[in-house]
Amino acid sequence: MAIPLPSTENCAVVTGASQGIGESLAAELASRGYNLITVARRRDVLERNAASLKEKFGVSVEVRAIDLADRAKRTELSEELASRDIAILCNNAGIATFGPVSKLDPDYERFVVELNAVAVHDLTLAVLPGMLERGAGGILITGSAAGNMPIPNNATYAATKAFTNSFSESLRGELKGSGVHVTLLAPGPVRTDMPPVEEQSVVERVVPDFFWVSGEYTARLSLDALARNKMRVVPGPLSKAMSVAGGYTPRAVVAPIVGSFYKKLGAE
């Protein structure tokens, strides 16, 4: 069964919608006619993006300025989503840290786990009963090629993405024949535009240009894959290379090689 078509009763949810892949997913869904609930911490950015999408595509866009790492706030959102007709959930919000985990802020590392893994689990479980009752729905989970292998100096992020990768593909197996589609998005570096040098992140300064793919391309490819109920979509050359390396290269070999690159990110 296909994922639900857009209607006045249903909507699509995008977390991490203020920038990057999430912003592109929201725009692509709006272009396909879906009303939206966009979720991120920065209300001003969400509202500005919402106004643009409403004007351009004529859809409704509800803004939820929520820190998904905050369990109380996340519970409120989960309860709301459980009561709504959610056609598509894009579980996209996430963040990375770099460097030896022993030298990083423990509180912030727990924040990463809550956002990247626990929030994905909670929101998925919130929308799933309604989707199963309706016999239709789509869940897109943004994992990472980094979740396919051990990555020293990126340990917490890689571990949380290992969770999302496995959770997505395991859930998909459980839902076979239910009408609910589940697709894992495992991207490499993605950007919507190139900021000035002084505003570039560590990753933007270190990763060569030819490894990057656009947010627009990633969103379109991902939603098309979700519509076909494809297990995994891997846009970009770096993500494809990391997927192959993670699947076929002995971990004792790949870990120090990849870890040395991520050490550069932590040193910036």
Given 157, 217, 248, 262, the catalytic residue: 157
First to last CA, the chain: 48
Rg, the chain, Cα only: 18
Query: Which tokens in the block code for residue 90?
Result: 């894009």
Q: Is 224 left (phi over 0), alpha (psi -120 to 50) or beta?
A: alpha
> 2: number of CA atoms within 13 Å, CB side?
6
Question: What is the C-alpha to C-alpha distance for residues 172 and 188, in angstroms, rounded to an integer?
Answer: 22
Tell me the pairing of strands 137-142 and 61-65: unpaired
Give 112-131 as a DSSP string.
HHIIIIIHHHHHHHHHHHHH
157 in active site: yes
Q: Rounded to 5 degrees, what angle do the CA atoms 203, 155, 205 make? A: 10
Residues with catalytic roles: 157
